A and B are shown apart, each in its own frame.
Chain A
Amino acid sequence: SYDLTQPLSVSVALGQTARITCRGTNIGNKNVHWYQRKPGQAPVMVISRDTNRPSGIPERFSGSNSGNTATLTLSGAQAGDEADYYCQVYDSNTVVFGGGTKLTVL
């Protein structure tokens, strides 16, 4: 089975840049999707297929993917960005999620 590894937690000062990594073997060859989940709410897609930001998602969210690491970048983090973030890929007819990263905005 394919495994995705994320840091358990990332902290960022208000207005600074946060980077959340997602590591997997040759993940650069896969399409990586990112989701934000706030307590009591359903997940929300924030980045699709490595770099695509859907309408309604702020421009401060961006993504990249190369080699063995995909990265979600939040430029100018705001208090409202505090949430759990999950990366996701498809592999052999399965949906694979990373373990999730709790983003704290200080």
Chain B
Amino acid sequence: QVQLVESGGGVVQPGRSLRLSCAASGFTFRSYGIHWVRQAPGKGLEWVATIWYDGSNKYYADSVKGRFTVSRDNSKNTIYLHMNNLRAEDTAVYYCARPQGLRIYYYALDVWGQGTTVTVSS
């Protein structure tokens, strides 16, 4: 069964850090790029970051550039999102999502995790 499972969310104070994980199973993980997407309360979907299948390229939304870092460990079938200097506006449900095919900027996102909630509050 093709699956993505996020973990690591929680309540954190502004300015602190958090690391999210996205564990993959049921497909050849090392062949796929992965996107992180978030949804803040009452808002729409917002792209956060992308990492290529081999980790060679990473891209970030302007809202998180310089604060968030995406990485992957293909030996553990896991993607990480390291979030530093968190702000109240980072409060959201965070999803990792996989494209249907190997062309990361062509296919739709057909596999999503269930999401993990990050709350930034003092």
Listed in ascending order, the chain A residues whose CB lies under 8 Å from chain B are 31, 33, 35, 37, 42-45, 47-49, 54, 84, 86, 88, 90, 93-100
Contact = CB atoms under 8 A, between A and B. Distances in A.
Contacts, number: 63
11 contacts: A33-B109, A35-B108, A42-B95, A42-B113, A43-B45, A44-B112, A45-B109, A49-B106, A88-B45, A96-B47, A97-B46
Interface string B42-66: 0011110010000001010100000
B105 A43 contact: no
Contacts of A33: 108-109
Contacts of A37: 39, 45
Interface of B: 35, 37, 39, 44-47, 50, 57, 59, 61, 95, 97, 100, 105-110, 112-115
Contact of A86 (B35, B44, B59, B114): B44
Given A33-B108, A86-B45, 11 more contacts: A31-B106, A37-B45, A42-B112, A44-B112, A49-B108, A90-B105, A94-B50, A97-B44, A97-B47, A98-B44, A100-B45
A9 to B, nearest CB: 13
A90 B106 contact: yes
